[in-house]
Amino acid sequence: MKKTCFWNLSGLAGIGLASLLCVFSGPVLLAEELPLKQLTLFSSGVGYFVHSGEVRGTPESPARLRAPFKLASVNDALKSLVINDPVSSSPLVRYASADSLRQTLKDLKIDLSGNPALAEILGSLTGEEIEVSAPTPLTGRIVGVEYRSGTIGGEAGPIEPWLSLFTAKGIQAVALKDIASFVFKNDEINADLKRALDLIMASRNTDTKDLEIILPGQGNRTISVSYVIPMPVWKVSYRLDLGGNEPFLQGWAIVDNGSDSDWEGVELSLVTGRPVSFIQNLYPPYYTSRPVIPLAIAGLAQAEAYESGSSWEGAAFNPESAAGTASPMAPFLRKLSENVLNRSAAAAPDEEKARESPAPAPGYSLDYAGTLETAQGRAAGDQFEFTLKQPVTLERRASAMLPLVQGTLQATRALVFSGAKAVVGQSINPSISAELTNTTGMKLPAGPITVYDGGTYAGDALVEFLGENEKRIISYGDDLSVRGTVTAGNTRTLSSVRVANGVMTISRSQNYEKTYTIISSAGEDKRIIIEHPITQGTTLAVPEAYDEKTASLYRFTRPLPAGKELKFNVREERPISEQITLARLGPETFLSYASSEEIPLSIRTALSKAVELRQKADEAENELKNLETRRTRLVSEQDRIRQNLAAAGNQSPQGQEYLKRMAALDADIDNINSYIKSAENLVESSKKGYSDYIAGLKF
């Protein structure tokens, strides 16, 4: 039974080349290329590579793949590499991590990790036996390296290193500058020295990292390797011919082979869309910080008993489920394997070709040129994939322009007058434009459009992403035979007045008006689209309907007769509401509303009566205040006389006079108190009558 296993190896180095080197183990190592079969470039700046080919090996001598990867691509490949081998059930992938060289060099018997000098190397190998070729050959064990000051002409010279050796004749020292050669007697040190030098030499190419894939398995079989790495963003440019019987569109894809390998007969697909794409730093080893806990060297641990518990059924880890066909991902991955191998083994069937052609020479229409084989389009989830019908061959570091799409589509000529660009009092020319409807059956990526009309170049335009059957306007020039101006103004009008529960609500409308005046001196009728910027918070009042609306503007399409003037008015309205509590109004403000001509007559009449009631209430309140003021004065006068009486005595003639005056004041105070009581009742009844009348108004 044939077993297919997939491995999503999220811990491997990334591939930065368009081809893999496949090394087969055996008596003699053979290096052959694992061809690149399929390549998909995404508009998000990544490429999906699929390599497929035959390998052979045995469990004891497995097939090996070695691939150089660009350092900038490593992290992307670490999270995307997938290997499909129908035989191998336990593939192994090895690579040198970011700190492997330094750590490996430090672990060797001879440490070259810090680029040490010869004296440092020999000084670090104390006790090792060495054979030195100096003026006098010496064999001994290294005691150390010391530095001595030499002499030149009897004077102190530079400090020089000397090697001290323990020999059969005792300790002998020899200057390093006098040593012609030396060799370690320990074969392990010599082997580690060679390995360290090899590692250092291999690390000089810091832009490339090697990945080794080991695939145990018996016999010959076809495998595939796929991964996602950064790639130059593919671009698109269009040609649009408006001069033929039917508008004709042709699109070309511009791709760049930014890899270090040639593409030879590759099935190339181009995907437009906006998938999530990010880089995570998976290649360098990562060590997390951990707290340091003091040693528990004192006291005794407390005994603790634990209750029995039940396990969650199905939660135990199953190695077979994680790596074999029992995994929930296995059916999906198995299907992916079949698709990859089937697509690698056979070319895609021929599809019916649409009318296609290369870019025109000046004076010729696109639809009269020769036939091109463009891409076959299909939906890829929420994205759209173009697969070129012929395999692509492209040298490394080269770029190419490939036919993507062509065919007829709907296009209607028009002029576009932009109200957002128009300045009040200044004239501008409308843009020569075309309304395109994408009837090609494909989603068209954003890109530049070169427009041809009347057999010659007409201008350049830009188009955003254009979905199937979606309509878009493109502009490629200014029409100098037409000019337009705009005038603007705003007014405020009363909409309605309502009175209820003592509150008067006045609704007004703030009107924003623009008048577009378009004058044509052309000798033919044209069609113009007026783009009116939407005023925030308003609704359209005139005209009652628009032809199109975007988030920021209305579009109105109108005929423009030859040699005529077109006037077009747009009015937007913003509602404004004002609420007035009638009982809180002052007399003057109340009277202004009651006499305002914009208030309906019935409401003005009711407000006038309310003003009369308010005036009566105010008059009663003023009379009450006057009476209270008079009483206050009488009481004050009475207090003054009382003080004088105390000073003169009540038996004196003056005191007797004071007593008479106090009695008269008491009579006046009693009399005025009766008037105040009546005034208070009148104020209370007047205010209540006013409040009840206000509350009862309803219009």
pLDDT tens per residue, range 136-177: 888 999 999 998 887 666 677 788 898 999 998 899 988 888
Q: For the ranges 217-221, 312-316, 449-453, 616-620, which has the lowest average pLDDT?
A: 312-316
Confidence class for position 98, pLDDT limits 50, 70, 90: low
Confidence class for position 554, pLDDT limits 50, 70, 90: very high
Angle at 545 between CA 544 and CA 548, to 5 degrees: 155
Collapsed DSSP state (helix, strand, coil) of residue 287: coil
Count of CB atoms situated within 10 Å of the CB of 214: 17
Confidence class for position 320, pLDDT limits 50, 70, 90: very low
Q: CA torsion sign, 594 to 599 to 602 to 606?
A: negative
CATH code of the region 112-145+160-185:
2.30.30.100
Collapsed DSSP state (helix, strand, coil) of residue 344: helix
Strand order in the sheet with 92-95: 30-34, 20-24, 63-70, 208-215, 92-95
Confidence class for position 313, pLDDT limits 50, 70, 90: very low
Q: What is the rounded distance in angstroms from the CA atom of residue 172 to the CA atom of residue 694? A: 123
**212 burial via Cβ count (<10 Å: 0-12, 13-18, 19+):** middle
Structure tokens given for 96:
């040198």
Q: Which of 131, 105, 107, 111 is nearest to 123 (CA)?
A: 111
Over range 362-382, report the average pLDDT: 50
- Tell me the per-residue pLDDT of 107-144, one tens digit each, with 9 for 90 and over: 777 887 778 888 888 888 899 899 998 888 889 999 99
pLDDT at 651 over 70: yes
- pLDDT value for 450: 96
pLDDT at 87 over 80: yes
- Tell me the per-residue pLDDT of 244-272, one tens digit each, with 9 for 90 and over: 889 999 999 999 998 878 899 999 999 88
- Tell me the per-residue pLDDT of 297-309, one tens digit each, with 9 for 90 and over: 655 545 554 454 4
**343 burial via Cβ count (<10 Å: 0-12, 13-18, 19+):** middle
- pLDDT value for 354: 33
